C-alpha cells in the first residue's frame, strides 16, 4: 500500500510538471514561413534533477542481486512470439528470471502487454521493461525516407512526422525508438545515407533537434511520446569506400567541425539515449571507445541518458581484434556502454569480470541506474502498462488523419531536378503511360527501415494516379523492365517482404509490351530507379547508376518521340548523366512512404508545386566521391569548375562540378533574388548583422522557395570551407509577389573548432552568400572584428 501511495505521488509530480510545460509551449510559426522552430532546451526539459527518482532507484537497487542488475543491461531481440506464448518462450523465461531490461523487434500491443505482464508479475522485483523499435520514418503510416524528409527543409513538418510516429508507436506498445539517425555522410555509395539527413552538419543538426522534440514532446511521461535514441554515435557515415561497417579514420578537426555536431544537437535537444556505432574511431571501435562514450558524450556535452550498443556491437569488437568476449564486454562497460543489444556479452561475462577485478561494482551500478532512470522518466514504474491500452491502436494507428499528413509531407519532400519545356505539371487530360518496375509496386514505396509499415497497402504510383485523377486522365501501364538484369542481384534487394515481382519473360518481350503501351500515350511517366532495399543497411553500391535494365528501357522509350517524365525512386544520390539527357523532366521522389502514389500525383498534376531541395550532392561520376559543397580550397584551385587546366586540382576526364549541387531543386514557378543588402558591412563584437534579399515569384504558379544562407570565412588560423550553410527559410510566394527575406547573423554563426579544439570565431573578412542552392548565390563581403 505504502509503495502505491508513493508511486501515485511520483505520478502526480510528473503530471503537474507536464501541464506546466504544456502551458509554456510556444505556438509554432506558420509552416511556409519559417523552417526552424524555436525548441525549448531539451536537456533541461527531460533531465531535471529529481530527488524522488534518485531515492526510488537507490532503494530499488539496494534490493537487486548482481544477476538482476546485469539483467537490466540486457536487450534481446524478441523473435516476435505470438500472444500467450510469452511465458513459454526462451525470452519469457529470461524475463521471469530478471535477465532482461528491454526488448525490441516486437510488434503489437497485445504481445507487448503479455510480456510486460511476465516482467511485472512474475519476476522477483517486478521491474517493468522498455520496448524499442526502429521507428525511423513513421510507424504504420510511413513518411518519406529520412533523406527525403530532409529534402523538405521544413523543420515543422519533420517534427510533426516524428510526433505522429510517436503517437502511433506508443499506441501500439512501443516507448523507445532507435531514431533519429544523424550520421553525416559525403559518400553516396554508403546505402545508409537513405536513413539520414545528408551531407551537411548544419541542416543535419536542425533536423536532429526537430526529430528528438517530435518524438519526446514536452515530457517523456506523456503517453503519446517516446524516448528517442540518436544513432549511430559516432562518425558512421564516413566509412571508407562507402562500404558498410568499414573503418573510419578522421582527424579531430574534421570530427568536431563536420561530423560530431549532429549528435551533439540531439544531446542538446535532450535525447534520452544514444546508440554506439559499429565502426572504429581512432583505432578503437566506438562501442569500446571511452573517449567517445564518456569523455566527449558525457564530460564535454553533458549527456545524462543511457548508451545502448548497436546490434551485437560488443561481440563484433572481437572481430575488430581487441580480445575475447569477456575482455571486450568489460571494455565496453568501462567505456560507458550501459545496454547490450542482442549479443549477451554483458549477461554472460560481467559477473566473471567483476570477480576477477576487471570491472567494479560501481561500473555496473552506474549503467543499471541510467537504465532504471529511463524507465522511471517514461513513467513505467508508476504504470508498467502505460503503453498497453489495447484500444488505442484501433483509432490512433494508420488513421486517415495521419495518412493525410503523410501525403502532404511526401509531396513536400520531392525534388524537381529538371523540367524542360514546362512538361510538368501534366495536363489533366489525355493518356498517360506509366512504365517501369516502380510504376505499380506498393511494397517498395515506404523505403528502407520501415519495419512497421503495411507494405502491401502502400499506394503505388499507378494506384495513386488513378484514384486522384478519376476519369479525367486515361492511365495505361506496363512494367517495361525488371529492376536488374541479374536475378541474383535483384533478389538481394527484394528482402523484408519487398517484392520485386520479377518478370521472367525474355527482355525483348517485356520491352516490346511497354513500347506498345507507351505508343498510345500523350506523355510517358517512367518510374525508375532503385528498389527500396538497394539503399539502407548493408546496401552499399560501387556503381551508383540507375541499373542497366532500366536505362535500356528509357533509351527505347525515348525513340517514341514523346515527352518523358522520369519519376525517380532512390535512397541515395545517383549518377544521372544519361537520364538528364533523355528525360524532359526529372522528379526525384526518393521513397515517399505509405501515401506515395497520392503524393506523387499531387505534384505531377500541379496540386502541389514542388519545393524540395537536395540535402546531398549528386555527382557526375562515382569517381568524384566524396563530393560535397563545403570543401576546402586546395593550393591549386581550378578557376572554372567546368574547365580543365593542367596542374590545377582537377580530373583529366570530367569537370569538378557536380551534376546537381547541394541545396538544388526547381519549382513550377521561377524566383528572382535581388542583391544582398546589409545592415552594415563593418561589425564589431556581439553585434547582429541583418542580411536581406528580396525574393520575387516571377513565374506562373504560387510556390515556396527555400532561401539558403552560406558564409565563407576568408582568412582563418586553420583552413576554412569555401562556404558553409548557416541558415535557411522556406518562403511562400504568390504569383508576382515579393518578400524581403532577412537573416539575423551573430558571431555564433562564425564559430568553428580551431587547432586547440576551442569553439570560437576569429576577426576578419567574411562572405555572406544567399540564394536558392549552394552553387547559385549572391555574395556580399563584410568585416567583423572582436
Ligand atoms: C542497425 C541499427 C538498428 C538496430 C536495431 C542495426 O543493425 O545498425 O540502426 O537500430 O539494428 O534494429
Give tens-digit pLDDT for 105-158: 899 999 999 999 999 999 999 999 999 999 999 999 999 999 999 999 999 999
Atom of ligand 1 nearest to the CA of 341: 5
Distance 103 CA to ligand 1 centre (A): 13
Is the CB of 268 inside a 6 Å radius of any atom of ligand 1? no
Count of all residues that appear for the chain in the document: 786
- At residue 85, the pLDDT reads 53
- At residue 38, the pLDDT reads 44
Is the CB of 195 inside a 6 Å radius of any atom of ligand 1? no
What are the tens digits of pLDDT across the range 209-219? 999 999 999 99
Half-sphere exposure of 100 (CA within 13 A, CB side): 28
Distance 310 CA to ligand 1 centre (A): 6
**From 114, 200, 310, 602, the catalytic residue:** 310
Question: Active site includes 310?
Answer: yes
| Chain position carrying cell 544537437 | 265
What are the tens digits of pLDDT across the range 676-712? 999 999 999 999 999 999 999 999 999 999 999 999 9
| Higher local confidence (pLDDT), 781 or 36 | 781
Cα–Cα distance measured from residue 602 to residue 599, given in angstroms and rounded to the nearest whole number: 5
648 exposed, middle or buried (CB, 10 Å; 0-12, 13-18, 19+)? middle
Atom of ligand 1 nearest to the CA of 232: 9
What are the tens digits of pLDDT across the range 603-651? 999 999 999 999 999 999 999 999 999 999 999 999 888 889 999 999 9
Identify the DSSP state of 561.
T
Calculate mean pLDDT across residues 344-371. 98
- At residue 6, the pLDDT reads 34
Distance 311 CA to ligand 1 centre (A): 6
Cα–Cα distance measured from residue 147 to residue 197, given in angstroms and rounded to the nearest whole number: 5
Is the CB of 537 inside a 6 Å radius of any atom of ligand 1? yes
Atom of ligand 1 nearest to the CA of 278: 8
Distance 116 CA to ligand 1 centre (A): 23
Peptide bond into 717 cis (omega under 30): no
Give the cell for residue 128: 517493468
Mean pLDDT of the residues in the chain = 93
What are the tens digits of pLDDT across the range 38-55? 444 678 789 989 999 999
Is the CB of 192 inside a 6 Å radius of any atom of ligand 1? no
80, pLDDT greater than 90:
no
Distance 61 CA to ligand 1 centre (A): 30
- At residue 762, the pLDDT reads 98
Question: All domains of the chain, ordered by start, with CATH?
Answer: 413-604 (3.40.50.1700), 669-785 (2.60.40.10)
Q: How far is CA 411 from CA 349, 414, 416, 600, in A?
A: 51, 6, 11, 6
Is the CB of 159 inside a 6 Å radius of any atom of ligand 1? no
Is the CB of 231 inside a 6 Å radius of any atom of ligand 1? yes
Atom of ligand 1 nearest to the CA of 133: 12
Cα–Cα distance measured from residue 382 to residue 221, given in angstroms and rounded to the nearest whole number: 10
Distance 452 CA to ligand 1 centre (A): 14
pLDDT-derived band at 79, boundaries 50, 70, 90: low
Question: Atom 8 in ligand 1: which residue has the minimum CA distance?
Answer: 310
Nearest alpha-carbon partner for 149 in 776, 599, 577: 599
19, pLDDT greater than 60:
no
- The alpha carbon of residue 361 and the mean position of all alpha carbons in its chain are separated, in whole angstroms, by 37
- At residue 688, the pLDDT reads 98
Cα–Cα distance measured from residue 93 to residue 90, given in angstroms and rounded to the nearest whole number: 5
Identify the DSSP state of 584.
S
* CB contact at 8 A, 147 and 615: yes
Calculate mean pLDDT across residues 470-488. 97
7, pLDDT greater than 90:
no
- At residue 671, the pLDDT reads 98
Is the CB of 496 inside a 6 Å radius of any atom of ligand 1? no
Is the CB of 295 inside a 6 Å radius of any atom of ligand 1? no
What are the tens digits of pLDDT across the range 243-256? 999 999 999 999 99
Atom of ligand 1 nearest to the CA of 275: 10
Question: Atom 10 in ligand 1: which residue has the minimum CA distance?
Answer: 178
277, pLDDT greater than 80:
yes
28, pLDDT greater than 90:
no
Q: What percent of the chain has pLDDT over 70?
A: 93
Q: Which of 134, 192, 228 should be mutated for ligand 1, with most atoms under 8 A from CB?
A: 134
10, pLDDT greater than 60:
no
82, pLDDT greater than 80:
no
Distance 254 CA to ligand 1 centre (A): 25
Question: Atom 6 in ligand 1: which residue has the minimum CA distance?
Answer: 311
- At residue 2, the pLDDT reads 36
408, pLDDT greater than 90:
yes
Amino acid at each position: 500500500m505504502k509503495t502505491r501511495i508513493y508511486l501515485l505521488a511520483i505520478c502526480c509530480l510528473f503530471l503537474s510538471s507536464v501541464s506546466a510545460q504544456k502551458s509554456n509551449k510556444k505556438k509554432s510559426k506558420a509552416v511556409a514561413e519559417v523552417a526552424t522552430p524555436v525548441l525549448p532546451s531539451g536537456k533541461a526539459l527531460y533531465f531535471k534533477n529529481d530527488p524522488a527518482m534518485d531515492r526510488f532507484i537507490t532503494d530499488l537497487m539496494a534490493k537487486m542481486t548482481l544477476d538482476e542488475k546485469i539483467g537490466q543491461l540486457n536487450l534481446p531481440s524478441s523473435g516476435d512470439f505470438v500472444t500467450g506464448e510469452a511465458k513459454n518462450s526462451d525470452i519469457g523465461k529470461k524475463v521471469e528470471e530478471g535477465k532482461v531490461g528491454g526488448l525490441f523487434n516486437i510488434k503489437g500491443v497485445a504481445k507487448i502487454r503479455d510480456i510486460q505482464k511476465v516482467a511485472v508479475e512474475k519476476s522477483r522485483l517486478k521491474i517493468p521493461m522498455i520496448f524499442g523499435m526502429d521507428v525511423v520514418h513513421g510507424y504504420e503510416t510511413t513518411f518519406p525516407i529520412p533523406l527525403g524528409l530532409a529534402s523538405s527543409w521544413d523543420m515543422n513538418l519533420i517534427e510533426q512526422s516524428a510526433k505522429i510516429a510517436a503517437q502511433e508507436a506508443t499506441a501500439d506498445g512501443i516507448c523507445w525508438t532507435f531514431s533519429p539517425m544523424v550520421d553525416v555522410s559525403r559518400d553516396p555509395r554508403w546505402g545508409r545515407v537513405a536513413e539520414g539527413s545528408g551531407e551537411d552538419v548544419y541542416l543535419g543538426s536542425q533536423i536532429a533537434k526537430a526529430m528528438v522534440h517530435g518524438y519526446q514532446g514536452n515530457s517523456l511521461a506523456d503517453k503519446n511520446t517516446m524516448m528517442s535514441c540518436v544513432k549511430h554515435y559516432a562518425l558512421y557515415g564516413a566509412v571508407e569506400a562507402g562500404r558498410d561497417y568499414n573503418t573510419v579514420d578522421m582527424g579531430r578537426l574534421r570530427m568536431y567541425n563536420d561530423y560530431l555536431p549532429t549528435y551533439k544537437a540531439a544531446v542538446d535537444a535532450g535525447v534520452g539515449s544514444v546508440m554506439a556505432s559499429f565502426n572504429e574511431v581512432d583505432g578503437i571501435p566506438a562501442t569500446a571507445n571511452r573517449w567517445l562514450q564518456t569523455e566527449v558524450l558525457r564530460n564535454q556535452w553533458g549527456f545524462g541518458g543511457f548508451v545502448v550498443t548497436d546490434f551485437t556491437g560488443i561481440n563484433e569488437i572481437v572481430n575488430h581484434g581487441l580480445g575475447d568476449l569477456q575482455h571486450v564486454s568489460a571494455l565496453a562497460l568501462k567505456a560507458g556502454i550501459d545496454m547490450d543489444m542482442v549479443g549477451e556479452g554483458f549477461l554472460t561475462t560481467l559477473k566473471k569480470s567483476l570477480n576477477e577485478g576487471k570491472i567494479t561494482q560501481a561500473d555496473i551500478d552506474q549503467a543499471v541506474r541510467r537504465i532504471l532512470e529511463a524507465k522511471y522518466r517514461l513513467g513505467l514504474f508508476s504504470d508498467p502498462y502505460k503503453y498497453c491500452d489495447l484500444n488505442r491502436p484501433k483509432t490512433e494507428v494508420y488513421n486517415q488523419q495521419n495518412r493525410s499528413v503523410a501525403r502532404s509531407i511526401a509531396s513536400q519532400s520531392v525534388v524537381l531536378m529538371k523540367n524542360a519545356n514546362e512538361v510538368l505539371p501534366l495536363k489533366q487530360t489525355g493518356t498517360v503511360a506509366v512504365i517501369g518496375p516502380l510504376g505499380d509496386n506498393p511494397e517498395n514505396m515506404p523505403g528502407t527501415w520501415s519495419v512497421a509499415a503495411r507494405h502491401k497497402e502502400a499506394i503505388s504510383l499507378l494506384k495513386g494516379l488513378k484514384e486522384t485523377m478519376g476519369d479525367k486522365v486515361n492511365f495505361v501501364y506496363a512494367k517495361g523492365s525488371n529492376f536488374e538484369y541479374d536475378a541474383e542481384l535483384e533478389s538481394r534487394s527484394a528482402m523484408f517482404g519487398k517484392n520485386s515481382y520479377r518478370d521472367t519473360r525474355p527482355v525483348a518481350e517485356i520491352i516490346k509490351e511497354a513500347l506498345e503501351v507507351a505508343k498510345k500515350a500523350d506523355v510517358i511517366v517512367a518510374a525508375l530507379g532503385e528498389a527500396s532495399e538497394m539503399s539502407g543497411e548493408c546496401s552499399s553500391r560501387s556503381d551508383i547508376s540507375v541499373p542497366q535494365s532500366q536505362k535500356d528501357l528509357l533509351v527505347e522509350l525515348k525513340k517514341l518521340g514523346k515527352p518523358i517524365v522520369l519519376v525517380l525512386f532512390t535512397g541515395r544520390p545517383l549518377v544521372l548523366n544519361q537520364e538528364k539527357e533523355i528525360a524532359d523532366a526529372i522528379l526525384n521522389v526518393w521513397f515517399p512512404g505509405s501515401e506515395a502514389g497520392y503524393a506523387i500525383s499531387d505534384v505531377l498534376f500541379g496540386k502541389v508545386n514542388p519545393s524540395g531541395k537536395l540535402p546531398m550532392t549528386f555527382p557526375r561520376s562515382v569517381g568524384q566521391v566524396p563530393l560535397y559543397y563545403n570543401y576546402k580550397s586546395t593550393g591549386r584551385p581550378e578557376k572554372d569548375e567546368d574547365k580543365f587546366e593542367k596542374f590545377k586540382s582537377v580530373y583529366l576526364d570530367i569537370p569538378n562540378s557536380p551534376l546537381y549541387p547541394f541545396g538544388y531543386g526547381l519549382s513550377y514557378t521561377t524566383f528572382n533574388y535581388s542583391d544582398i543588402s546589409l545592415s552594415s558591412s563593418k561589425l564589431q563584437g556581439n553585434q547582429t548583422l541583418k542580411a536581406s534579399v528580396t525574393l520575387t515569384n516571377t513565374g506562373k504558379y504560387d510556390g515556396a522557395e527555400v532561401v539558403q544562407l552560406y558564409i565563407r570565412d576568408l582568412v582563418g588560423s586553420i583552413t576554412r570551407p569555401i562556404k558553409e550553410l548557416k541558415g535557411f527559410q522556406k518562403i511562400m510566394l504568390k504569383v508576382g509577389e515579393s518578400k524581403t527575406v532577412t537573416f539575423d547573423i551573430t558571431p555564433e554563426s562564425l564559430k568553428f573548432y580551431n587547432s586547440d579544439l576551442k569553439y570560437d570565431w576569429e576577426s576578419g573578412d567574411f562572405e555572406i552568400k544567399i540564394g536558392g542552392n549552394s552553387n547559385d548565390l549572391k555574395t556580399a563581403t563584410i568585416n567583423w572584428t572582436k
